[in-house]
């Protein structure tokens, strides 16, 4: 009984039904569509003490602004690695975290965040900061050490999300710290998108999962699998509502469907970048099996690999990479964002990649399997 109650409460919390004043529900638009832009791997905050770090952060601001103005999405998903915390030596991580939202916030678009492996990493002191005597010079004033945050400590996931929610006076953030039993994974929650017509009838469920990394291993735990199963049973017992999944680090299933690195991407895969091997999670503890068993789950979207932007089928699921959006992080492939557009009736999913310069490519209509 208590267990049931906990599940109910977690579901209610995840849907923003209790606690803080609920923001306006997400809903399919009048034209029956709901469009999501995925901002992956922004990597804000690199080398703030040089010219190139701040310059590339401005580049990331520009990419997001260009995509938002061209696409006018209804929602934005920040797909992890918003900041390169191993390069942020000050309590500024929450400032960079907040900056990542500014183009979206200024356009009044709601968003959600999930964690990548860099967001809560501890600071790695650049070796050139150490004098020959082994003392760190000016970048970190000795008088303020170590409690000012000028230390090796990263900013915990919980602190980043809590700061995000606190600063969100406009009520645009839909992020949540997730149920306590899944900590240290934090970004585990569900958002529903309501039907264009029926007032309270959900027409799409978006599940966000924390795929780890940084302060703990890069995995989706068995506890998260059980959480997904209970949430989806509770919210969508007959599988009538289509479901989409978002996390940061590709599961090992991605390695099975991946076109050989550096080769041309050919059907049934669709994409333009295939410049590296998939860097998967450390283990697979049942999440893919749970997802593949649910016909209502249509696709998974991940970031993490900056040199990949394809979608490939896996059973009846579609496994997609986003597109490296930030000017931070490795790789100098042109920046862009994956856009995912759903139609409510009949349900369909289209996706494409919108580049910083305004061009689009890699259009795909997800094959949702007539047999499902």
Ligand X SMILES: *[C@@H]1O[C@H](CO)[C@@H](O)[C@H](O)[C@H]1NC(C)=O
Is 360 one of the binding residues for ligand X (CB under 6 A)?
Answer: no
Distance between CA 310 and CA 49 in Å, rounded? 35
Which of residues 92, 155, 236, 274 is near ligand X by CB under 6 A?
92
Q: Which two tokens stand for residue 161?
A: 């999300």
Region of 118-126, 273-281, 317-325, 351-359 interacting with ligand X (CB under 6 A): 351-359
Region of 225-233, 245-253, 338-346, 352-360 interacting with ligand X (CB under 6 A): 352-360
Comparing C-alpha atoms, which of 313, 324, 321, 337 is closest to residue 271? Answer: 321
Which residue has the closest beta carbon to ligand X? 48
Region of 89-97, 140-148, 183-191, 202-210 interacting with ligand X (CB under 6 A): 89-97
If the CB atoms of residues 294 and 338 are measured against ligand X, the closer one turns out to be 338
Region of 97-105, 144-152, 304-312, 355-363 interacting with ligand X (CB under 6 A): 355-363
Distance between CA 171 and CA 358 in Å, rounded? 29
Region of 35-43, 120-128, 140-148, 354-362 interacting with ligand X (CB under 6 A): 354-362
Q: Which two tokens stand for residue 8?
A: 């109910």
CA distances from 23 to 92, 99, 238, 309 (A): 27, 21, 27, 32
Is 357 one of the binding residues for ligand X (CB under 6 A)?
Answer: yes
Q: How far is the CB of 79 from ligand X (least distance, A)?
A: 19
Comparing C-alpha atoms, which of 248, 208, 207 is closest to residue 118? Answer: 248
If the CB atoms of residues 92 and 195 are measured against ligand X, the closer one turns out to be 92
Residue listed under structure tokens 């400032």: 95
Distance between CA 113 and CA 340 in Å, rounded? 16
Total residues contacting ligand X by CB under 6 A comes to 8
Residue 249's Cβ-side half-sphere holds a number of Cα atoms within 13 Å equal to 22
Is 359 one of the binding residues for ligand X (CB under 6 A)?
Answer: yes
Q: Which of residues 184-203 bind ligand X (CB under 6 A)?
A: none
Which of residues 205, 225, 355, 366 is near ligand X by CB under 6 A?
355
- Residue 287 phi/psi, 5-degree rounding, is -65, -45
If the CB atoms of residues 295 and 334 are measured against ligand X, the closer one turns out to be 334
If the CB atoms of residues 295 and 307 are measured against ligand X, the closer one turns out to be 307
Q: Under 8 Å CB-to-CB from 351, ≥6 apart: which residues?
A: 311, 320, 338, 339, 340, 341, 362, 363, 364, 366
Q: Under 8 Å CB-to-CB from 316, ≥6 apart: which residues?
A: 292, 295, 368, 369, 371, 372
Region of 87-95, 183-191, 212-220, 308-316 interacting with ligand X (CB under 6 A): 87-95
Which of residues 7, 11, 48, 163 is near ligand X by CB under 6 A?
48
Is 90 one of the binding residues for ligand X (CB under 6 A)?
Answer: yes
Residue 69's Cβ-side half-sphere holds a number of Cα atoms within 13 Å equal to 12
Contact 338, 300 (CB under 8 A): no
Q: How far is the CB of 359 from ligand X (least distance, A)?
A: 4
Q: Which of residues 282-311 bind ligand X (CB under 6 A)?
A: none
If the CB atoms of residues 89 and 213 are measured against ligand X, the closer one turns out to be 89
If the CB atoms of residues 63 and 219 are measured against ligand X, the closer one turns out to be 63
If the CB atoms of residues 120 and 309 are measured against ligand X, the closer one turns out to be 309
Treating both helix axes as pointing N-terminal to C-terminal, what angle do 2-14 and 222-235 enclose, rounded to 10 degrees? 80
Residues in the chain: 372
- Enumerate binding residues for ligand X (CB under 6 A): 48, 90, 92, 95, 334, 355, 357, 359
């Amino acid at each position: 009984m208590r267990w049931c109650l906990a599940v109910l409460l977690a579901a209610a919390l995840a849907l923003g039904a209790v606690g803080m004043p609920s923001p306006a529900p997400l809903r399919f638009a009048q034209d029956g569509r709901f469009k999501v832009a995925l901002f992956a791997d922004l990597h804000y905050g690199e080398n703030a003490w040089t010219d190139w770090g701040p310059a590339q952060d401005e580049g990331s601001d520009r990419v997001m602004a260009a995509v938002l103005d061209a696409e006018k999405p209804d929602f934005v998903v920040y797909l992890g690695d918003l900041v390169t915390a191993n390069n942020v030596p000050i309590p500024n991580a929450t400032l960079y975290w907040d900056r990542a939202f500014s183009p979206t916030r200024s356009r009044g678009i709601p968003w959600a965040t999930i964690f990548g492996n860099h967001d809560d990493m501890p600071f790695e002191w650049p070796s050139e900061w150490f004098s020959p005597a082994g003392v760190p010079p000016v970048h970190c004033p000795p008088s303020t050490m170590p409690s000012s945050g000028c230390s090796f400590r990263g900013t915990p996931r919980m602190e980043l999300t809590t700061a995000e929610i606190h600063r969100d006076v406009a009520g645009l953030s839909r992020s949540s710290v997730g149920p306590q039993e899944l900590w240290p994974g934090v970004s585990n929650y569900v958002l529903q998108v309501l039907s264009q017509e029926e007032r309270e009838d959900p027409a799409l469920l978006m599940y966000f999962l924390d795929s780890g990394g940084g302060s703990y291993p890069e995995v989706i735990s068995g506890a998260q699998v059980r959480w997904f199963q209970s949430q989806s049973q509770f919210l969508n017992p007959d599988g009538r509502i289509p479901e989409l999944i978002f996390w940061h680090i590709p599961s090992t299933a991605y390695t099975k469907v991946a076109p050989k690195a550096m080769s041309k991407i050919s059907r049934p895969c669709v994409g333009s970048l295939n410049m590296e091997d998939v860097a998967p999670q450390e283990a697979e503890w049942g999440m893919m099996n749970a997802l593949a068993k649910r016909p209502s789950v249509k696709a998974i979207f991940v970031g993490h690999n900056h040199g990949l932007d394809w979608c490939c089928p896996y059973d009846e699921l579609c496994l997609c990479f986003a597109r490296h959006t930030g000017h931070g992080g490795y790789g100098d492939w042109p920046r862009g964002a994956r856009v995912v557009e759903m139609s409510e009736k009949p349900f369909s999913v289209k996706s494409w990649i919108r580049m910083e310069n305004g061009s689009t490519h890699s259009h795909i209509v997800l094959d949702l399997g007539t047999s499902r």
